[in-house]
Amino acid sequence: MSNPKELQTKLGYHFKNASLLNIALTHPSVAQEKKQIEHNQRLEFLGDAVIQLVLSHELFKRFPTYNEGLLTKTRARLVNRRTLAEISRQLGLGPYLIMSKGEESHGGRDRTSILADAFEAIIGAIYLDGGLQAASNFILQHFAKYLDELPGTPSSWNPKGELQEYLQAKSQEPPVYKLLSVRGPDHDREFECMVLHQGIPLATGKGKSKKAAEAEAAYLALKKLRSADSETESAHAEKNKKQT
């Protein structure tokens, strides 16, 4: 790999164990020439699972009315070789890939399948190096454009707006958001926010931006409040049933 520090700056993630990045960039063709070289297929397997998990969670939050089938179809629109390779090209991964001369001579550095596999392997490497939160931050950052382009995203997921409507239907006072903390280096910040109503804390959320943390807090507050409403309605229904 020509300049690992330069690539890590491009990625916006700095590895504690740089050998993981080296493995993630190593195509299996190298291992065919040099038997002792570890290639990226195992990391690719792991990264694929992490991407599926993170984006499944994100879609679950964004589309609260979608059933399992719609969520699965929407995820399939996001996670495909074309998109993964496109992100790899945006990151400029091609020149950093480690492959055999034969693979390179056949256009391997810009081949969609190889770039997609490399991106998955890098996710696997970040997960092993920094944990799920670091991998999640990286995935959501690079999938943000594709998530926002999904049909119905702006209207289907606006937890702050939904929470405000919910609370103002019960009282005139809107929710208030409070920034609790900002952790991590500049390239990997984590924000934590709390949402309050009439001075009472409702929920806290975390995210890679203040806006994302507030949205997470609003979503969790809505979930909590609606769950309480459902329990109250069930209790009233049970009470009325006993009285009749």
For residue 59, give the H/E element and its range: helix 41-62
Catalytic one of 44, 48, 117, 216 = 48
186 is catalytic: no
- Any catalytic annotation for residue 48? yes
C-beta separation of 224 from 240 below 8 A:
no
State the catalytic residue, choosing from 120, 129, 192, 216: 120
CA distances from 151 to 28, 37, 56, 62, 155 (A): 38, 44, 16, 11, 9
Burial 168-203 (b: 16+ CB within 10 A, else e): eeeeeeebebeeeeeeeeeebebbbbbbebeeeebb
The dihedral region occupied by 209, where left means phi > 0, alpha psi between -120 and 50, and beta the remainder, is beta
> How far lies 14's CA from each of 1, 11, 25, 239, in Å?
15, 8, 15, 59
Question: Which residues carry out catalysis?
Answer: 48, 120
